[in-house]
Homo-oligomer: A and B are copies of this chain.
Amino acid sequence: MAADAHDSPPRRRDAQDNRERLVAAAREVFAESGFEVPLDAIARRAGVGRATLYRNFPDRYALGSAIFEHNLAALEALARAHARDPAAFTALLSAIIEQQIASHALVPALLSGPTAPDLHALRSRMIRLLAGPLRRAQAAGAIRPDLVSADVLAVIAMISAAVLHAPSVAARRRRAARALQLMLDGLVPRT
What CA separation (Å) do A87 and B143 show in the bound complex? Answer: 27
On chain B, the residues within 8 Å of A164 by CB distance are 111, 157
Of all chain B residues, which has the CB nearest A175?
Answer: B154
**Given contact pairs A160-B161, A162-B158, A189 touches B151 in the complex (Cβ within 8 A):** no
Tally of A interface residues using CB under 8 Å:
33
**Does A73 sit within 8 A of B, measured CB to CB?**
no
On chain B, the residues within 8 Å of A4 by CB distance are none
Other A-B pairs beyond A113-B167, A158-B159, 9, CB < 8 Å: A142-B188, A147-B187, A154-B178, A155-B187, A157-B164, A158-B161, A158-B179, A183-B183, A185-B188
